[in-house]
Structure 1
Amino acid sequence: MPRFLPLLPLALMLAASPVAAHFQELIPSADVLPEGGKVTFDLVFTHPVEGGPVMAMQKPAGFGMVMNGQKTDLMPALREAPVGGTPAWAAETDLAEPGAAVVWVAPQPYWEPAEGKFIVHYAKVVVDSYASGEGWDALAGLPVEIAPLTRPNGLWTGNAFTGVVLKAGAPVPFAEVEVEFVNDGSVVPPNDDFITQVLKADANGTFSYVMPRAGWWGFAALIEGDTPMTSPEGTEVPVEEGALIWVKATDMGGN
């Protein structure tokens, strides 16, 4: 996936902000394969709206797919794909049968000294093979996960995406959800508040967001992990577990 160099105003905004939202990107080459076939994935740990910086991503602890009730280990498909010299990953798989493939990644914990915590963002994306419209609500069984209530394929710009935040399979009341889109550099937020949209789920863990622009949108529900970890300095620190799902919006009359 191409990366852009942030424009000067955007770079100044980033410098003025002590902490920016981290998103584990898991972006496929298409969200729908009308005739099935091969699909590629880019796995990059970054700040999508700012277009960077890209954080070093170790080889994931797990990478797999749930499709038509079958689980597939995709770890052998992973290959190194650095972005600007920073470690990132990519993969390709062949979706030869109709059905929605729920592809997920469980990254290694990332130490963020600026926030004093480890970050583990479990990300997933749904690719619909042969535009089947079936199986898009299957769960990957991740420790924290967003269950879609809106089919995450074939969405127009302006459609609302609705999901439920889950932890160990149970809804998380009032979970905080951050929202960003993969910016190609054409959008310069007027100030920091526009970089990361923030909302809260309701008492049933349900949230909804209208996507105002075509492209890939990431929804990240941030939940504190139950078990702390040890920092490089030897102190006990919290773990931020993120439940992410990536959804594409498409303009009418274009891709």
Structure 2
Amino acid sequence: MSQSKKTANTLLLVLWTLLYSSGAQAHFQLLYTPEVNLSKAATLPIRLIFAHPLENGHVMSMARPQAFYYWHKDKREELLPALTEITWQGPSNGNTAFAAEVPIKRNGDYIFVVEPTPYFEPSEELYIQQLTKSFVNKGGLPSGWEQPLGLKAEIVPLNKPTAILVGSTFSGVVLSEGQPVVGAEIEIEWINGQPDLQANRFGASRVTPPASVLVAISDANGVFTFGIPRAGWWGFAALGVGPDKRYQGKALSQDAVLWISATELR
């Protein structure tokens, strides 16, 4: 096998690295709803939370997002006015988050996007802005889940994001201003504490988090692949791939985040 082929094959593997200790699990912007496949019209409950989902740890305070919307069949629907400020409770603290109730009527794919106001992390002396996508389908009709949205930074799924099975793999391509990002570091997390939307809180941890952050690296085409070991919500954050590097005079990590929900084959 040639050296180039060895390198390409290596980049396609999920890298389980010892970059951080368990006390430094990743910040993740959540865009959560309990159901991603709807068979009939419904009002969809959504929660926007900034937290450490795999660690099931500290919940950060969210400012009101800069933008919140969905795309459906090439049409953008603004949702920022629908947001209500709430307090979301984690195991150790509660903090500001946001809730919305969104009517879903027509068949097809709905790509939800939140563009948060950058969050200042004092321990790292930088701002974090995670441009986050999540997907819902009504009626089983595909209508554009694989299309990029033109965000400054985004992950575009290469597998149908509302039909992910445990034991399969998920692949995505990391884009910055529409161009693939080679060698992007993608942190991977799973929602450990089941969200309770009635109480606006995380439940008890269901697993012990690994001792290090789960990480994948994008290949020469900007693509990464991850094997799905368990049902539930999986998040992927491509760190610092956005073009904006400064905010209010300090360093900015502009990340691309994507969430999928994996189910067991029954």
* TM-score, length of structure 2 as denominator length: 0.82
| Structure 2 counterpart SS, 1:76 | helix
Amino acid at match of 1:161: F
Instruction: Please state how far the C-alpha of 1:134 moved relative to its aligned partner.
Output: 2.8
Q: Deviations over 1:198-217 (max 9, x none)?
A: 11000111001011000000
Q: Deviations over 1:10-57 (max 9, x none)?
A: xxxxxx756331000001121111223221111100000111210000
Amino acid at match of 1:220: A
1:161 to 1:37, Cα distance in 2 relative to 1, 3 A = same
Contact 1:66 1:138 in 2 (8 A): no
Residues in 2 aligned to 1:210 and 1:97: alpha-carbon distance in whole angstroms: 32
1:1-255 equivalences under 5 Å are: 19-84=24-89, 85-184=94-193, 185-189=205-209, 191-193=210-212, 196-223=213-240, 225-230=243-248, 236-253=249-266
Residues in 2 aligned to 1:119 and 1:229: alpha-carbon distance in whole angstroms: 9
Contact 1:165 1:175 in 2 (8 A): yes
Residues in 2 aligned to 1:137 and 1:54: alpha-carbon distance in whole angstroms: 31
How many residue pairs match? The answer is: 230
Which consecutive residues of structure 1, in runs of 5 or more, have no partner in the other structure? 1-15, 231-235
Q: Which has the higher strand share?
A: 2
- Aligned-residue sequence identity (percent) comes to 37
Q: Which runs of 4+ in 1 moved over 3 A?
A: 16-19, 224-227
Contact 1:102 1:140 in 2 (8 A): no
Instruction: Please state how far the C-alpha of 1:229 moved relative to its aligned partner.
Output: 2.5
Contact 1:102 1:138 in 2 (8 A): no
* TM-score, length of structure 1 as denominator length: 0.86
Q: Deviations over 1:73-96 (max 9, x none)?
A: 011111112113410011111111
Q: Deviations over 1:157-206 (max 9, x none)?
A: 112111100011111111110000000211013x522xx21110001110
Amino acid at match of 2:137: D
Contact 1:65 1:140 in 2 (8 A): no
Instruction: Please state how far the C-alpha of 1:140 moved relative to its aligned partner.
Output: 2.8
Q: Which has the higher contact order (CA 8 A, sep 6+)?
A: 2
Q: CA RMSD of the aligned region, Å?
A: 1.5
Residues in 1 aligned to 2:142 and 2:104: alpha-carbon distance in whole angstroms: 14
